Amino acid sequence: MASGLIAASAGVVLALGVIHLIYTFWGTKLLPRDPALQARMAEVSLRITRETTVWRAWIGFNASHSLCAILFGLVYGYLSLSAAQFLFSSPFLIGVGFVLLASLCVLAKLYWFSIPFVGVTLSLVLYVSGFLASQV
């Protein structure tokens, strides 16, 4: 039961990461509603460097954000299904997973929108439930 809950938690984050990666490179979901804004973002560099534009950084940030969610989903999904004893006996891994999911919940609430907030909150609830189930 505990492994299944952690796997479900990982699956939610994995799905969100894959969907976000698809939206980053295909379709219009992550494009500004104002085409002039996107054009301007493609012209303006960041203060940190002239080697990229705000638009290229936007795409890179979204892609790397997606890849991190995918990595979390794959690693914690794998550990929960193939190495549950190892996962549940590691305070470090359990703690890292919890801190990451809790941090994503805060970010989603403060800076994102309702769908990712609901998704990462569900993932956190499943994760904590899996951990608690492993303690009985």
Residue 60 has pLDDT above 90, yes or no: yes
pLDDT in tens, 89-129: 999 999 999 999 999 999 999 999 999 999 999 999 999 99
On the question of pLDDT at 62 being above 90, the answer is: yes
- Tell me the residue ranges of DSSP E strands in 24-102: 45-46, 49-53
- The pTM score is 0.91
Residue 90's alpha-carbon distances to 12, 23, 34, 69, 80, in angstroms, are 22, 35, 48, 21, 12
